Amino acid sequence: MRGDAKLVVTEQDTARELGSGMIDVLGSPRLIALCEQASCAAVADALEAGTTTVGMRIQFDHLQPTPIGAEVVAEAVLEKIEGRRLSFTVSAADPGGLVAAGKITRVLVDVERFMTKCCEP
């Protein structure tokens, strides 16, 4: 299964705006979120009603800067399923080439049970 997500970088997506640096280029937190979005898209049509995935682990290399105005495309490929754990290989590219690569692990959860466990005293 594959999923993708696209973003045209705005000022709100920059490291300076996100508090992860002082440069006006795509910030790593936003790039990671884009790759997580692609991971969610990869499995969205296969999930049963009342279930979702939540992030568990991110291993990520941000390899080159992306300027404001450039389009970034993230891709996620589901590589392995181990019980409720879903392992994805992710990458992102802009017109200049590969921007980031890594692995994301997400866990399949029942939404109601998860929220009860998480948020009720």
Q: Residue 120 — pLDDT band, cuts 50, 70, 90?
A: confident
Looking at the domain covering 2-119, what would its CATH class be?
alpha beta
- pTM for the full model? 0.94
Burial 57-84 (b: 16+ CB within 10 A, else e): eeebebeeebeeebebbbbbebeeeeee
Query: What is the average per-residue pLDDT within 94-118?
Result: 96
Q: Count of alpha carbons within 13 Å of 82, Cβ hemisphere only?
A: 7
Query: What is the average per-residue pLDDT within 20-27?
Result: 97
The yes-or-no verdict on residue 33 having pLDDT over 90 is: yes
